[in-house]
Structure 1
Amino acid sequence: MRLIVVNDVSEALGGATKVALQCIEAGVAAGLDCSVLVGDDGAGIRLRFPGVQVEALGERPLRDGVRFANLFDRNFNGRAYRALRRLLKSGSDTVVHVHGWSQILSPSIFHALERSDAKVIVTAHDFFLSCPNGAYAHFGKGDICEEKPLTAGCLASACDKRNYLHKLWRFGRSMTQSAAGEVFWGRVGVILAHEAMEPYLSTGSLRNFLTLRTPSTPLTRFPVEAWKNERAMFLGRMTVEKGVRTLAEALNVTGKAATLIGQGPLLQEIQHTLPHCHVPGWLDDGEVTAVAAKARYFFMPSRMPEPYGLVAAEALMSGIPVIASSNALIAREIEENQAGLVFQSGNARSLAEKMVLMENDDLVRRLSEGAFAYGKRIAPSRDEWHQRMVDIYAGRIKFSIRDVMTGAVGRPGHPEFGMASRI
């Protein structure tokens, strides 16, 4: 069996790339013939997996700055299309596992895959498979967008976090993506990071789903006695959708100090807004561990339907309670397992009220113990996840079929997707 892993970048600065690297690791350990297509220079993969073939475009992601040419090549990247076509020509019995494509590779990769007989799997790290802005969020209103993707209502909605012209561009890119065809999308297997993602992704041509939660590594080596600590923490990208403005407002309302770790377009704004907090930008793993060991609780203030929240799971596994936004798909189980508190998404006063509750040592101790207990079973171990991923590639674990359309599944050369749900 041949495995091709596809991802925008090779450096693990986000959850999607971490998972892509783990897929390569699983494939290599299982003895699969592994190749990788990345949009950047591929250095992160070449360093970690010297025996893996890497096809790298050497381009920059959109978040590093937009050039005029990106209006066209991030809608349909011809270099990415040709590179993937070359990789697909060099063998049969091929599985292609796609992770990120919205920053560099573009929907062109799906048009390359549509012309092949490869078995195609996509891990949904966000909602770009269906939603033009990838978040099901109306950034102007600060709420979840209720419009059905790619309808007239969606086209008219000024939901983008930049401006309406950018929304129109993203709408066009989604149309390019959709143009790979219903037959193609009907045979794509979609791996969900959380089972609650499926209703957001099953409104179009996608039919085949299964949930495989991503293995997590605790932020600390030993359980944190959170009730003995004073300072809260945030770890993630400094962007509107991650809710850092809501967090900043709540921190100013309460006057509480916290450590906010992460890069992003709002970093300088947050540094200026929170002079009483420590906002260092990105820190290395050792420094993050040191901060987490002294954390009283962890913030997950997402404004969008956060698909899973890998870093929140890492906090829970360390015994750090999480204050989660009601928009986070993991919020309900955090509350049900007494592993943290939930506030109303986008409501700084609601978040501030939860922060005040966390001044109670007895409550924090109960939630800390609940977080650690739940963290033990929130996701499979790394070894279990590796084996399950290889079993998915080999067809031993099947995808569930939702509203199968004639001809959408079982294209010649493909193992048919069978019935199953969550693993």
Structure 2
Amino acid sequence: MRVLQVTDNYAPATGGLERVVQLLSHELSALGHTVAVATLDRPDAPPTSVEGDVTVHRLAGLTRRLRRFSADPQHQFHPTAPDPVLVRRLQELVDRTRPDIVHAHSWMLHSCLALRLPPGSRLVVSIHDYGLVCAKKTLIHDETLDAACAGPSLRKCLSCASGFYGRPKATALVLGLAATRFGKVDLFLPVNEAVARATLPGVAPTRIRCVPSFVADSVAAPAPRPAFLPDNDFLLFVGALGEHKGLSLLATAHQRMTTPVPLVAIGPRRADTPTLAGTPERPVSVHDSVPHPAIMAAFAAAAVVAVPSRWPEPQGLVVTEAMAAGAPVVASSIGGLPTLVDHGLTGLLVPPGDATALAAALDSLLADPTTRRRLGEAGRTAARRYFASEVVPQVVDAYDSVLARPRASTTR
């Protein structure tokens, strides 16, 4: 079949979502499907490029004028309303390639909703976060962590998003979401049931199929141990170096632990990245630019990987990658993380925001190498459920199922 993947950001942009869309595109192509990608244009990439059998179209629209408002120049985001110039470029691409499936992954969906698709085409939407209902995409209300927002309302969302974006940008995003109708979407693919419940209230079950994010089968291929790692046991954190990921919480737990070990944190810095002060007995090191193979090698070398998220993490590719590398995981019981970590079998779950419980769980594993090995091996086996070879056929089956039925025509 002919498939058009549509996403705000694509390589050379880096991140979990970007890796998933790129991997999906190439896996579908390897299965014999004709795949193209439509994404926002970038000043550091050509309008059209070819990756193997996948053609990438970087389309210019009015959105490019919003770059100066972006907190991260490497990641541009489509607004929560159609971009008329981008719609025209997307329509030209659709008319020329006539895809069977238009598969949207991010806020470019809002321009997809304005397209006139060929009669045989279907619109499929993957839901990787909470962006269908939350302008911040996080489901965090007023930066109150450790519990998800109960749901959107116009006044509440305007107030909450204004504290995050500022009033003008927040107003545009929130009003755009409130006005959007998703009746043209033929099939939603949330990454798990937790995300489905939060983002798709009132949507008929026949229009929903949970399909997780995934990693390459080769994700845990052996790689040299990075020189920056401690020689002995250490704790590892990988992710955005921010409060929503629980970095300060982990630093507190680290100091409370009875077992003095180094803490290594890897990830991009943010405006809210805390200053982490270790001690000679409990050193802390932070690394903000590490290639992905080195991160996987760090997972394989870690005594324990901590995922102390304080926001309702939709899925958490870090957990999947850590388990694939055979590392035992201690994670917060919030969002979609409990769907990945089977408590006592592949890792341990602790209440979000509880530094004492986090410290105790980390101590318990550091004191018990046998349990660490058992959890790591079980995690390695469980991670295979999230390998491309397992998940991409689910995506293809979803495509086939939606092509076999009439196009959506609902008001939601």
Q: Could you state the TM-score of these two structures normalised by the residue count of structure 1?
A: 0.77
CA deviation vs aligned residue, 1:334-377 (integer Å, no higher than 9, x gap): 24352222222123333223223233124xx3243233224323
Partner of 1:192: 190
The correspondence for 1:126, drawn from 125, 129, 136, is: 129
CA contact under 8 A between 2:331 and 2:348: conserved in structure 1? Answer: yes
> Which residue number in structure 1 is paired with residue 199 of structure 2?
201
Structure-1 residue corresponding to 2:227 = none
Match of 1:280 in 2: 287
Structure-1 residue corresponding to 2:17: 16
Inter-partner Cα distance in structure 2 for 1:331 and 1:253: 25
Report the counterpart of residue 4 of structure 1 in structure 2.
4
**Secondary structure in structure 2 of the residue aligned to 1:290:** helix
Task: Quote the offset at 1:232 in angstroms.
Answer: 1.1
AA aligned to 2:145 is: G
> How far apart are 1:95 and its partner, in Å?
0.8
Conserved in 1, the CA contact under 8 Å of 2:296 and 2:321?
no
Give the whole-Å Cα distance in 2 for the aligned partners of 1:229 and 1:200: 42
The answer to whether 1:28 aligns with 2:29 is yes
Query: Matched residues in 1 for 2:254 and 2:271: separation?
Result: 16
CA distance, structure 1, for counterparts of residue 278 and residue 8 of structure 2: 33
Contact 2:39/2:58 (8 A) holds in 1: yes
Residue 278 of structure 1: how far off its partner (Å): 1.5
What is the CA–CA distance in structure 1 between the aligned matches of 2:237 and 2:315, rounded to whole Å? 16
Is the Cα–Cα contact under 8 Å of residues 338 and 371 in structure 1 kept in the other structure? no
Pair 144,174 (structure 1): closer, same or farther in 2 beyond 3 Å? farther
Which one of the candidate residues 59, 64, 78 is aligned to 2:72?
64
Match of 2:266 among 261, 266, 272: 261
Structure 2 Cα separation of the partners of residues 344 and 303 of structure 1: 9
What is the letter of the counterpart of residue 346 of structure 1?
A: G
Relative to 1, partners in 2 of residues 1:78 and 1:63: Cα closer, same or farther, differing over 3 Å? Answer: farther
- 1:110-162 Cα shifts (integer Å, max 9, x gaps): 43237765311111110112222212222532233443224554445569545
Matched with 2:407 is 411
CA contact (8 A) 1:218 1:314 kept: no
Q: Secondary structure at the match of 2:330?
A: strand
Q: Which amino acid aligns with 1:244?
A: L
Shift of 1:290: 3.4
| CA distances 1:294-342 after superposition (whole Å, capped 9, x unpaired) | 2011111212211111121111122211110121423265243522222
Secondary structure in 2 aligned to 1:214? coil
**1:320 partnered with 2:327:** yes
Query: Which residue, out of 249, 253, 264, partners 2:252?
Result: 249
Q: Give the SS at the match of 1:355.
A: helix
Shift of 1:163: 5.6
In 2, Cα distance between equivalents of 1:397 and 1:85: 20
Tell me how far 1:211 sits from its aligned partner: 1.8
- Are residues 29 and 50 of structure 1, via their aligned partners in 2, closer, same or farther at CA, if it must alter by over 3 Å? closer
Change (3 A) 1:149 1:45: farther
What is the aligned residue count?
385
Distance 1:356 1:214, change over 3 A: same
Maintained 8 Å contact 2:365/2:371: no
Change (3 A) 1:380 1:342: closer
* Gap change, CA 1:30 and 1:91, over 3 Å in 2: same
Matched, 1:111 2:113: yes
Identity, in percent, stands at 21
Aligned match of 1:401? none
Deviation at 1:218, TM superposition (A): 6.9
Deviations 1:17-69 (A, max 9, x none): 11111221133223333221111435699363365252333955934259xxx
Question: Is this contact kept in 1: 2:235–2:303, CA < 8 A?
Answer: yes
Q: How does 1:132-147 map to 2 (within 5 A)?
A: 132-147=135-150
3-state SS of 1:113 partner: coil
Distance 2:14 2:315 in 1: 16
SS in 1 for 2:91: helix
Which residue matches 1:395?
Answer: 401
Partner of 1:293: 300
Deviation of the 1:213 alpha carbon: 2.5
Give the superposition deviation at 1:230.
1.0
Distance (Å, rounded) in 2 between the aligned partners of 1:19 and 1:3: 15
Q: Within the alignment, does 1:79 sit opposite 2:75 as a pair?
A: no
Q: What does residue 209 of structure 2 align with?
A: 210
Determine the structure 2 residue equivalent to 1:405. none
Is the 8 Å Cα contact of residues 81 and 111 (structure 1) preserved in structure 2?
no
| Correspondent of 2:355 among 348, 356, 372 | 348
Distance 1:159 1:285, change over 3 A: same
Structure 1 counterpart SS, 2:106: coil
Unaligned segments of structure 2, at least 5 residues: 224-230
Q: Does 1:366 align with 2:394?
A: no
Looking at structure 2, the residues matched to 251 and 122 of structure 1 have their Cα atoms a distance apart, in angstroms, of 40
Q: Is the 8 A contact 2:122 2:402 kept in 1?
A: no
Asked if structure 1 preserves the Cα contact closer than 8 Å seen for 2:3 and 2:33, the reply is yes
RMSD across aligned C-alpha pairs, in angstroms? Answer: 3.7
CA spacing shift, 1:367–1:338, aligned 2, 3 Å: farther
Q: What CA distance in whole angstroms lies between the structure 1 residues aligned with 2:265 and 2:341?
A: 21
